[in-house]
Amino acid sequence: MAKQKQMKEQAKQAAAGGCMDTPDAEALVRSCAGGDFSPDTKLGDIFQSADQRKRFCRCVADGSGIGMSKIPCGAGDTIGAVLDAITC
């Protein structure tokens, strides 16, 4: 429950500034991905299906307050690209 509250607070802060600080963005992406992955890891290597990638990107969007359309979500996109999209 505390984690959800923290993520909502981060989302409010992100929405106000349009981006997240690097440590918060990394923590969010790690949480949504279910592990600590290298920035050059492709989403398709972590999530085999488009539905899995969509759920990951929805998690990042909800946690960051940044629109899902601004988050790279293709199989060939990387964790680093996702971080770049949400980091200040």
pTM of the complete model: 0.80
Counting every residue written for the chain, the total comes to: 88
**pLDDT reported for residue 13:** 52
Our count of domains for the chain comes to 1
Residue 38 has a CB neighbour count (10 Å cut-off) of 9
**pLDDT (tens digit, 9 = 90+) per residue, 50-64?**
999 999 999 999 999
Q: What is the span of the domain harbouring residue 79?
A: 2-86
The pLDDT of residue 18? 75
Summarised one tens digit per residue, pLDDT across range 13-72 is 545 557 899 999 999 999 999 999 999 999 999 999 999 999 999 999 999 999 999 999
